[in-house]
Amino acid sequence: MAFSPDAAFSYLRRAHQQRRLGHAYLISGTGGAGKRVLANRVANLVNGTTADDFFAAGATGVYVAEPESKSRRIVIDQIRALEHSLQMRAAEGRRKVAIVAEADRLQPQAANAFLKTLEEPPNDSLLLLLSALPEALPDTIRSRCIPIPLAAAEQAPTSDEEREFVDVLRAHATSGSNGVQGAYRLV
């Protein structure tokens, strides 16, 4: 079952309030499903902050690893730097949050290095892996994360004509007369 970003956040907020938040989550969904927004909201939640975008250059408090090079891969040096940051002590009343954006882009060596962190997470840490293709991740990584699949974002009609057409279809389909097939006969 896929969640909307708001429903997923409500689930995570409830887990946090009950002190039952896991140490690693795999947030998956298509492009535009809200993976980054959800990760940002969760990082703010666990640390009581209001940062707008932890993915922006120079953002502090959360450690992010994402593809940077032309090869669009996450390399072992990025994972080692992320792991080193997680070994540091968290500020009073805060958790160390690591976000691996496009986790399916981990090189095999980087995935193996990150596996140890997933198996033995540092104290007060939260690991968020974001992926459009979670099946591309090694089973050993997927099995150590709590999956949070996000539903695909609805594609809204772009022109007035498209909006009008969708409204006519929706009205006819919900009126109980011949369903969607009947609505197509209107056109």
CA-CA-CA-CA dihedral for 48, 113, 145, 28, to nearest 10 = 80
Which tens digits make up the pLDDT trace of 174-187?
A: 665 555 455 455 44
pLDDT value at residue 152: 82
Token match 């050993």: residue? 140
Tokens of 59: 């953002």
> In terms of domains, do 95 and 170 share one?
no
Q: pTM here?
A: 0.78
Q: What mean pLDDT, rounded, does the chain reach? A: 84
Domain count, the chain: 2
pLDDT of residue 158: 56
Higher pLDDT, 106 or 54: 106
What one-character DSSP code corresponds to residue 11?
A: H
Rg, Å, the chain Cα set? 20
> What separation in angstroms does the CA of 153 have from each of 6, 12, 31, 104, 131?
12, 20, 8, 20, 15
Residue 59 shares a structural domain with residue 99: yes
Among 131, 91, 97, 101, which residue's Cα sits nearest to residue 117?
A: 97
Please report, for the chain, how many H helices and E strands are present, in that order. 7, 5
- In percent, the amount of the chain with pLDDT more than 90 equals 56
Say yes or no: 97 and 46 in one domain: yes
Domain containing 165 equals: 156-187
More confident of the two residues 98 and 71: 98
